[in-house]
Amino acid sequence: MPRDEWEVIEGCHEAIVTPEEWQRVQEMINGRPTIMEGNACPFYNIFHGLIYCATCGKSMQVRYEKVGRTGKNRFTGEMREPIDKAYYICQTYNRMGCKVCSSHKIEARDLYNLVLKDIQELAALAMKDADSFYKRLSSQMERRYQVDTAELQREVERLQTRNQEIDDMFLSLYTDKARGILSEQRFVKLTAAIEQEQEANRRRLQDLAEMMRHSDEQESDVRTFISEIRQYATITELDETVLHRIISKILIGEVRKVDGQKTQEVKIVYNFVGEIPEITE
d(C-alpha 54, C-alpha 31), whole Å: 25
Domain termination residue (choose one: 198, 220, 242): 220
Q: Are residues 74 and 51 in the same domain?
A: yes
pLDDT given for residue 37 in this prediction: 43
Residue 12 maps to a domain: no
13 lies in a domain?
no
Identity (one letter) of the amino acid at 22? W
Does residue 115 sit within a domain? yes
Same domain flag for 196 and 166: yes
Question: Are residues 72 and 209 part of one domain?
Answer: no
Of 197, 220, 243, which residue sits at a domain end?
220
Residue 78 shares a structural domain with residue 213:
no
Q: What is the pLDDT of residues 147-177, one digit of tens each?
A: 556 777 788 888 889 888 888 888 888 888 8
The arithmetic mean of pLDDT across residues 124-134, rounded, is: 86
Residue 12 has pLDDT above 50, yes or no: no
Is residue 27 over pLDDT 80?
no
In a domain, 210, yes or no: yes
Question: For the chain, how long is the longest CA-to-CA vector?
Answer: 91
Residue 99 has pLDDT above 50, yes or no: yes
Q: What's the rounded mean pLDDT across residues 23-51?
A: 63
Residue-level pLDDT at 135: 80
Question: Is residue 2 a part of any domain in this protein?
Answer: no
230 and 126 Cβ atoms separated by less than 8 Å: yes
Higher per-residue confidence, 70 vs 234: 234
* Judgement on whether residues 148 and 174 belong to the same structural domain of the protein: yes
Please state, rounded to an integer, the average pLDDT across all residues of the chain. Answer: 78
pLDDT of the residue at 9: 30
Average pLDDT for residues 92-114, to the nearest whole number? 91
Residue 112 clears pLDDT 50, i.e. is over it: yes
pLDDT at 109: 92
The residue-averaged pLDDT of 251-279 equals 86
206-233 per-position pLDDT tens digit: 877 776 666 556 667 888 888 899 999 8
pLDDT tens string 87-98:
999 999 988 888
Q: Are residues 43 and 119 in the same domain?
A: yes
Residue 82's pLDDT is 84
81 found inside a domain:
yes
Tell me which H or E stretch contains 262: strand 261-263
The verdict on 123 and 57 lying in the same domain is yes
Identify whether the C-beta of residue 225 lies closer than 8 Å to the C-beta of residue 3: no
Judge if 122 and 56 occupy the same domain.
yes
| 191 and 67 inside one domain | no
Whether residue 212 sits in one domain with residue 79: no
- Is residue 145 predicted with pLDDT exceeding 80? no
Residues 201 and 266 in one domain: no
Above 90 in pLDDT, residue 249? Answer: yes
pLDDT given for residue 95 in this prediction: 87
Query: Are 232 and 11 a contacting pair, CB within 8 Å?
Result: no
Domain boundary among 182, 197, 220: 220
- Classify the C-alpha dihedral 155-157-162-166 as positive or negative: positive
Is this model's pTM higher than 0.85 or not? Answer: no
Q: Report the percent of the chain where pLDDT is more than 70.
A: 73
Cα–Cα dist 247/271, whole Å: 5
Q: Is residue 92 part of a domain?
A: yes
Give the pLDDT of residue 20.
62
> Does position 251 have pLDDT exceeding 70, yes or no?
yes
Which pLDDT band, with edges at 50, 70 and 90, does 33 fall under? very low
* Residue 1 scores a pLDDT above 80: no
The answer as to whether 66 is a domain residue is: yes
Of 48-52, 53-57, 65-69, the one with minimum mean pLDDT is 65-69
Query: Which pLDDT score, from 0 to 100, does residue 247 have?
Result: 94
Asked if residue 245 and residue 118 are part of one domain, the reply reads yes
- Report the number of distinct structural domains present in the chain: 2
Q: Which domain holds residue 257?
A: 19-27+39-132+232-275
